[in-house]
Amino acid sequence: MMLGASRNMSVQAAPRTAEDAIYREFGGVNMTGWKVSLGDGNYAAPGQDPVSMLDIETSHSETLSEVRANIHQRDVMAHNITYRRERDELALDFVHSFTCEFRLPYMPSIENTEENGQTLEAGLFVWDGMVNKLDYGMAFQWGLNPYERFGEVRSSIEGVSAAMWEPVGYLEPDTEWHTFTMIVDYPNQTTLLRIDDVTYTSYFVGFSKRWPAAISAGIQVEAISIYPGMTAHGALHRVEYRNWRWQWMTLQEHHLYLPAVMHEHQPGFHVYLPHVAADAAAPGAADAVAPTEAAPAPTHTYIPFVARNE
The pTM of the full predicted model, rounded to 2 decimals, is 0.78
pLDDT digits (tens, 9 = 90+) for 160-185: 554 589 999 999 999 999 999 999 99
Residue 138 near residue 191, CB atoms below 8 Å: yes
Q: Does domain 22-295 have CATH number 2.60.40?
A: no
192: Cβ contacts below 8 Å, ≥ 6 apart: 181, 182, 183, 199, 202, 258, 259, 260, 273
Q: Contact 100/244 with Cβ under 8 angstroms?
A: yes
Below-70 pLDDT ranges, the chain: 1-20, 159-163, 251-310
Residue 56 confidence (pLDDT): 98
Domain edges within the chain:
22-295
Q: What is the pLDDT of residue 273?
A: 33
Which pLDDT belongs to residue 163? 59
Q: What is the pLDDT of residues 273-305, one digit of tens each?
A: 333 333 333 333 333 333 334 333 333 323 333
- The pLDDT value given to residue 252: 55
Q: What is the pLDDT of residue 160?
A: 59
